[in-house]
Structure 1
Amino acid sequence: MNSILEKLSFYYKKKRLKNPNYSFLFEEPPENEYVAFDTETTGLNPKVDDILSIAAVKIKDNKILLNERFNVIVRPDREIIEDAIKIHGLRKKDLESGIPIEEAVDRFAHFIGSRPLVGYYLEFDVAMVNKYFKKLSGTTLPNKQIEVSALYYDFKIGLIPQGFVDLRFDSILKDLDIPTFGKHDALNDAIMTALIFLKLKNK
């Protein structure tokens, strides 16, 4: 059923595409390639909050291609409150040197191509990107989405049926014996998410 719904969604999005410059997103994805990505935002509501940074890494044949990473800081359209700065760690001067959101999303789309997207609570990050991508293209990202917390849940529940599965990011890292890369910024989180994906994919 899911595959049928995914196909219908894919063709619906393709039909709504108004900017042919993004037709490459609907091509057949490269074999065994994925993109893990993460965003830093002003909050958790895609309708009112803004993207402050987008980072991603390509995965190919069970390897994370760190030399092919994507990492941009976005210049916000409005003043960012102090509390938000404490969460994402981006300073005012960092944001002032950022690029416009439309440019960031356009560059992100060209980076990911038609590859499947991998993320932790990916639905939120995709919704944040789609908020702006829809204005550029007339449609939303058609890429297949792979949620690592769902992969982890399926893996753990088989070991502890009817048990509690801790889906917190740091808990997953610890259980899978994956190192934490210092502060949680978009790039570090994207790399750690890629490591989670590869470890679960190969189990």
Structure 2
Amino acid sequence: MALRWLSRLMDRATLGDKSYDFLFEPGPPDEVVSVDCETTGLDPRRDEIISVAAIRIRGDRILSSRSFTAVARPRVAIAAEAIKVHGLREIDVARARPMSEILPGLLHYVGGRPLVGYYIDFDIAMLNNHVTEMLGVQLPNPRIEVSSIYYERKYGDAPPGAQIDLTFATILRDLKLPLFNQHDAFSDALMTAMIYLSLKDLRARGVRIPRARTRSAVDHHGM
């Protein structure tokens, strides 16, 4: 915690464009932003964003009608395997704006609010490639990882050797939430926002997610 605070302090001091100092200020109380990116591949060192969505959450409301969405034109080719996942081809992004033009609007939309995501570190790493180019620093926003909250609610008291499943579809199913068109940035951000609110409610009420009993546990109980 102390190292992160010190890093934020140093980044704020070296911020390349002081008009973005607002990123280091806390966002409105009880507001977070669900974020998702679709990319040219899975290597943050060389791949780039081709689609990004951000949706504000205020209290227990998802402000989907005020979302931020954009398709971006990357500087690298889209990997064939990535196209199979999200369906975005070179022709689909050829006339889109580059991330350098999209990023200012996204940063003003997000502000200093915490960022919510499913494996959020990857999305932030992809965003930081462009933030660092523009501002010389990385995003200072706090991160909220929904799979970690889900793990705590379902597996926090699990015995050693318990089978762990943190897949997106399983989380949605356990929380009785709908599965939309996955690997679309807006749909993924929206589903992640719903997951976040469901888990937040469970945690506030002290409710755990039930686990299927293993056969050994069932057999032991029956003896």
Relative to the length of structure 2, the TM-score reads 0.85
Is 155-164 or 190-199 further displaced after alignment? 155-164
Structure 2: runs of 5 or more not aligned: 203-223
Bigger Cα Rg: 2
Q: Is the 8 A contact 1:156 1:165 kept in 2?
A: no
In 2, distance between residues paired with 1:84 and 1:194?
24
In 2, distance between residues paired with 1:182 and 1:79?
24
Change (3 A) 1:84 1:182: closer
- For 1:172, the aligned partner's letter is I
- For 1:43, the aligned partner's letter is G
Residue from 42, 55, 58 that aligns with 2:40: 42
**CA shift digits 1:59-89 (9 cap, x unpaired):** 0011100111011000122443444322211
Structure 1: runs of 5 or more not aligned: none
In 2, distance between residues paired with 1:6 and 1:81?
34
SS at match of 1:67: helix
SS at match of 1:77: coil
Matched ranges for 1:18-167 at <5 A? 18-162=16-160, 163-167=162-166
RMSD value, Cα: 1.5
In 2, distance between residues paired with 1:161 and 1:14?
44
SS at match of 1:90: coil
Q: Is the 8 A contact 1:73 1:95 kept in 2?
A: yes
SS at match of 2:171: helix
Q: Is the 8 A contact 2:78 2:89 kept in 1?
A: no
Q: Is the 8 A contact 2:47 2:76 kept in 1?
A: no
Is 185-194 or 71-80 further displaced after alignment? 71-80
Relative to the length of structure 1, the TM-score reads 0.93
In 2, distance between residues paired with 1:35 and 1:78?
28
Relative contact order, CA 8 A, sep 6+: which one is greater? Answer: 1
Q: Is the 8 A contact 1:118 1:194 kept in 2?
A: yes
- For 2:136, the aligned partner's letter is G
Deviation at 1:5, TM superposition (A): 3.1
Deviation at 1:159, TM superposition (A): 4.9
**CA shift digits 1:140-170 (9 cap, x unpaired):** 1000000111111111123534322211111
**CA shift digits 1:152-191 (9 cap, x unpaired):** 1111123534322211111111111110112421110000
Deviation at 1:57, TM superposition (A): 0.5
SS at match of 1:202: helix
Change (3 A) 1:103 1:155: same
**CA shift digits 1:93-147 (9 cap, x unpaired):** 3201211111122221111001000001100110100001111111110000001
Q: Does 1:177 align with 2:144?
A: no
SS at match of 1:125: helix
Q: Is the 8 A contact 2:40 2:76 kept in 1?
A: no
Which residue of structure 1 aligns with residue 221 of structure 2?
Answer: none
